[in-house]
Amino acid sequence: MTTNEKVLIKVENLQKSFEDNKVLDGISTEIRQGEVVAVIGPSGSGKSTFLRSLNRLEIPTGGKIYFEGVDITAPETDIDHVRQKIGMVFQQFNLFPHKTVKENIMLAPVTLKLMTPEEAEKKAMELLTRVGLPDKADAYPGSLSGGQKQRIAIARALAMNPDVMLFDEPTSALDPEMVGEVLEIMKELAESGMTMVVVTHEMGFAREVATRVVFINEGNIQEENTPQEFFANPQHPRLREFLSKVL
């Protein structure tokens, strides 16, 4: 697991409480360039809170998070600037319903003046081809299936040329027959070298695509390992119990 790749995200003793509910209880880990980290664990264990903390959608109550060396927990850090480098894909797509697919993808780079409309359109069409939906450029999200919406959401996140992609249960809201097409796009993205952190219940994806699997339970990383070791040799009794239920 130790590689020479550069550390993109460093998490030090991350804590988060909502009032007296301690949700994250001292998480420390590093995400290196090119890693595909699958985060698994029971419902309510803090997986989303952890992921959302990585781009400060949640503000930690303790600890530090560094993104490319910048302390994003520091109040003076320009988080909007950092977020340009962090793509995020949610369970519920969050596409703008009154904009076409192409406009959804072009919106952020054009609004932030990172690309001209012409550049953004070219990029959008490239990405639509990459996710297999070039013919949907002028469609509205409402006319798409869940699987298509999620592929568009991935394309939209990629339009910003992020350094890392965060996924929070990207297939959990999909009908079963649409899960595969989204996982396939994510697998291709992983193979292209993208750094990814993926909260998922898809154990096949964790086993086959992840470079590291992390088990979060009760707000802490209880175990992490290569997929092979993680699934063949789980150590923590709680992980064994969890795996016995989901495999």
Interface residue list for Mg ion (CB under 5 A): 48
Site string for ligand ADP, 96-115 (x = CB under 6 A): --------------------
**Residue 217, interface with ligand ADP (CB under 6 A)?**
no
Judged by CB under 6 A, the stretch of 4-12, 41-49, 63-71, 104-112 that binds ligand ADP is 41-49
Least distance to ligand ADP from the beta carbon of 43, Å? 4
- In terms of Cα–Cα distance, which of 85, 55, 68, 73 is closest to 14? 73
Q: Quick one: which of 45, 53, 150, 200 contacts ligand ADP (CB under 6 A)?
A: 45
Q: Is 48 in the site for ligand ADP (CB under 6 A)?
A: yes
Q: Which is nearer to ligand ADP, 23 or 38 (CB)?
A: 23
As a whole number of angstroms, the distance between CA 129 and CA 124 comes to: 9
Q: Rounded distance, CA 5 to CA 7, Å?
A: 7
Cβ distance to ligand ADP smaller for residue 49 or 150: 49
Q: Is 49 in the site for ligand ADP (CB under 6 A)?
A: yes
Does position 214 interact with ligand ADP (CB under 6 A)? The reply is no
CB 28 within 8 A of CB 12: yes
Contact status: 59 vs ligand ADP (CB under 6 A): no
Number of residues assigned to the chain: 247
Task: Name residue 214's amino acid.
Answer: V
CB-neighbour burial class of residue 117 (10 A; exposed 0-12, middle 13-18, buried 19+): exposed
Least gap, CB of 22 to ligand ADP (angstroms): 9
Q: Are strands 21-32 and 7-18 parallel, antiparallel or unpaired?
A: antiparallel
The burial of 195, by beta-carbon neighbours within 10 Å (0-12 exposed, 13-18 middle, 19 or more buried), is given as: buried
Cα 105 from Cα 128, distance rounded (Å) = 9
Rank residues 48 and 200 by Cβ distance to Mg ion and give the closer one.
48
Residues forming contacts to ligand ADP in the complex (CB under 6 A) are 18, 21, 23, 41, 43-49
